[in-house]
Amino acid sequence: MQNGILPLWKEKGMTSHDCVFKLRKILKMKRIGHTGTLDPSVEGVLPICLGESTKVAEYLTNAGKEYVAEVTIGSSTTTEDADGEVVEVNNIFKEFSREHIESVLTSLTGVIEQTPPMYSAVKVNGKKLYEYARQGLIIERPSREVTIYEMELLSEESSFSGEQVTFRIRVACSKGTYIRTLAVQIGETLGYPAHMSKLVRTASGSFTEADCLTLGQVQEKVESGTLTDKLFPLDYALHDMPKVEVPQSMEKSIQNGQVLEANDELRQHERVVFTNNGQAVAVYINHPTKVGKMKPEKMFSWEIEEE
């Protein structure tokens, strides 16, 4: 069975679940998980966890993302992207200077509030929002804070004009950001209805397009027996967490997942990765109820060498 992280380039027309289904057939294994949903109309970086690496999928899901999006000013849709039905059109002639659009992007950079779109997988009262939307229902959704780390205007024009105005932006953001909602917010700030007309995820955590394989390339690598060369180790998902080599006196305790005493240095960190010969064997977090203690959050397979 393969183990590791496979950066996949998800092509348009497939759901993230479709990718997992196809990979299970190609790799002839069941233990596969993706690290964040991409809509069928979106292409881009989708890290896939294989085997033991499925244990670290949540860390990759929680990592920051980067996108290139096309924003269209002048019309809005039910889904906030190009797949939905048009609900509002404003065809008056519009003209924006480059500086005006850049100032709007700056105003929406940092911690902002977003209300998830009705056509999304966010759950309210145990039911996904898109299930309400398909019944024609619009319900109150809780707003949430997300972080826009960077937003850059990629289109090179000095001014943008027309009845419908489009431009491309690059967005680096936190988990949970809806780029289509961000497109709507850009339109609102400019004073017009808007939607996201195209989207590509260019990075997920530290993975970029250069790291990725398409499903077709994965098939070729499997047939040639070279897929392992393109897999990243489980530890890659833990690269930004502090590492502590397991002392011999604690080996059995950590392997058995026991609660540990935490010194002052360990307590300073939200998570600590214990390693054995440089390989991750467990992730520990501060105990929620026992002061000065740490408990395991993730345990990975490892063998203790007997003397």
Q: Annotated active-site positions, please?
A: 39
The candidate with the shortest Cα–Cα distance to 48, out of 302, 232, 283, 175, is: 232
Sheet holding 260-261, edge to edge: 243-245, 271-276, 279-286, 293-299, 260-261
**Cβ atoms 94, 162 nearer than 8 A:** yes
Alpha carbons 232 and 228: distance in angstroms, whole number: 8
DSSP structure string for 9-68: EEPTT--HHHHHHHHHHHHT-S-EEESS---TT-EEEEEEEEGGGGGGHHHHHTS-EEEE
Taking the C-alpha atoms of residue 33 and residue 49, their distance in angstroms, rounded to an integer, is 5
d(CA 246, CA 278): 9
CA 204 to the chain's CA centroid? 6
Q: How far apart are CA 116 and CA 114, in angstroms?
A: 6
Record the tokens describing residue 226, joined without a space.
Answer: 């070279």
Positive or negative CA dihedral for 137, 143, 148, 153?
positive
Select from 37, 157, 138, 28 the least CA-distant residue to 98: 157
